[in-house]
């Protein structure tokens, strides 16, 4: 297997992201992981956690070509604006967080990295600093010049993509247009082929309403929007099953013969995914020209510096990034 380089961003410096990077560095890995972070922050957090991790300075022009050994971590030093204290947010470091993401994203675009794995950011403190920021996904879409991206969460044995994401329930039906459903489904299909190596992906599609509308008696979105759109996509060769009732689609009978489930809204698909893989799930941004995966949890400010955290989600994010890059 050819060794590749991956960028690892620790996210909010007061949260558990730096801890996760350091805990991950205790073990050896099949690829070279480069933490784009403040070396000062990582040294201080390692001391707080009682970890003896050797930080190896790297930068453009001196990239590593082999994995770091156990208990060591490659670091592209990115200075903080102010000292970071575990659990205490500081808007002064908002630019630092965005600088790490920018370096990672540009490094993926120029081929320095095969992909990027992100620890959680704190959107509120970035906005408090006067910077308009709605999340990793939107930031990376703008950085890479991508018009449309799709959120997919995955754990071992299940992938769930979303037609709509962070919308109030009352706004969901109007947002599920034929154009949007086509676009999202094509992105999902294309990335399953291109980034997951699935030659002929089979996708299960949820209906919007209970019982998938029950022939129009419980809503007509399936009849008027979803079914006609799926038929158009099938004529283009996509293998789509549905619309299916969401209360039965997540059963072994259906899941053993599919590569992904397409849910109509956030809380239709993600509760099942998180129940199956809580602590070992990953957030994947589809549609980008780069590979980007992330943990499925937040900054956990109250746990920063304590060592009482689980690296399971970050480990799955690494494995998924490797898979998507063809490793």
Mapping DSSP to helix (H, G, I), strand (E, B) and coil, where does residue 27 land?
Answer: coil
**Encoded tokens for 27:** 């073990």
- Beta-carbon contacts of 224 under 8 Å, excluding residues fewer than 6 positions away, are none
Annotated ligand binding at 283? The verdict is yes
Question: What gap in Å lies between CA 229 and CA 218, rounded to an integer?
Answer: 19
User: Does 209 show up as a binding residue in the annotation?
Assistant: no
Give the DSSP letter of residue 145.
T
| Token reading at 302 | 């109250």
- Give the C-alpha separation, 132 to 134, whole Å: 7
Annotated binding residue 266: yes
Asked if residue 122 belongs to a known ligand binding site, the reply is no
Angle at 285 (CA atoms; ends 282, 289), nearest 5 degrees: 135
Confirm or deny that 211 is annotated as ligand binding: yes
Alpha helices in the chain (DSSP H): 17-24, 39-49, 94-109, 123-128, 136-144, 172-175, 178-194, 221, 227-235, 246-249, 252-255, 266-277, 312-324
User: Residues marked as binding for a divalent metal cation?
Assistant: 166, 211, 266
User: Residues marked as binding for substrate?
Assistant: 136-137, 274, 283, 292
User: Residues marked as binding?
Assistant: 136-137, 166, 211, 266, 274, 283, 292
């Amino acid at each position: 297997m050819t060794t590749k380089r991956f960028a690892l961003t620790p996210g909010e410096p007061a949260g558990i992201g730096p801890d996760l990077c350091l805990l991950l560095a205790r073990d050896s890995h099949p690829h070279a992981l480069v933490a784009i972070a403040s070396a000062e922050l990582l040294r201080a957090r390692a001391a707080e956690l009682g970890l003896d991790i050797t930080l190896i300075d790297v930068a453009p022009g001196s990239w590593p070509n082999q994995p770091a050994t156990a208990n060591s971590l490659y670091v592209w030093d990115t200075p903080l604006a102010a000292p970071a204290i575990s659990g205490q947010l500081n808007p002064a470091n908002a630019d630092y967080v965005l600088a790490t993401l920018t370096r990672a994203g540009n490094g993926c675009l120029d081929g320095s990295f095969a992909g990027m794995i992100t620890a959680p950011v704190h959107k509120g403190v970035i906005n408090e600093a006067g910077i308009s920021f709605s999340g990793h996904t939107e930031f990376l879409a703008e950085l890479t010049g991508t018009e449309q991206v799709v959120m997919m969460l995955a754990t071992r044995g299940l992938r769930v993509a979303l037609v709509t994401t962070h919308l109030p329930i009352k706004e969901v039906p109007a947002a599920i247009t034929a154009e949007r459903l086509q676009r999202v489904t094509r992105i999902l299909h294309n990335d399953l082929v291109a980034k997951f190596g699935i030659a002929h992906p089979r996708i299960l599609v949820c209906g919007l309403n209970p019982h998938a509308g029950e022939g129009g008696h419980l809503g007509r979105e399936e009849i008027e929007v979803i079914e006609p759109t799926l038929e158009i996509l099938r004529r283009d060769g996509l293998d789509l099953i549905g619309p299916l009732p969401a209360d039965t689609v997540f059963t072994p009978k259906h899941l053993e013969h599919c590569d992904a489930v397409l849910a109509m809204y956030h809380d239709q698909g993600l509760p099942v995914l998180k129940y199956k893989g809580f602590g070992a799930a990953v957030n994947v941004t589809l549609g980008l020209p780069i590979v980007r995966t992330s943990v499925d949890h937040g900054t956990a400010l109250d746990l920063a510096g304590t060592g009482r955290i689980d690296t399971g989600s970050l480990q799955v994010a690494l494995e998924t990034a490797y898979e998507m890059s063809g490793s």
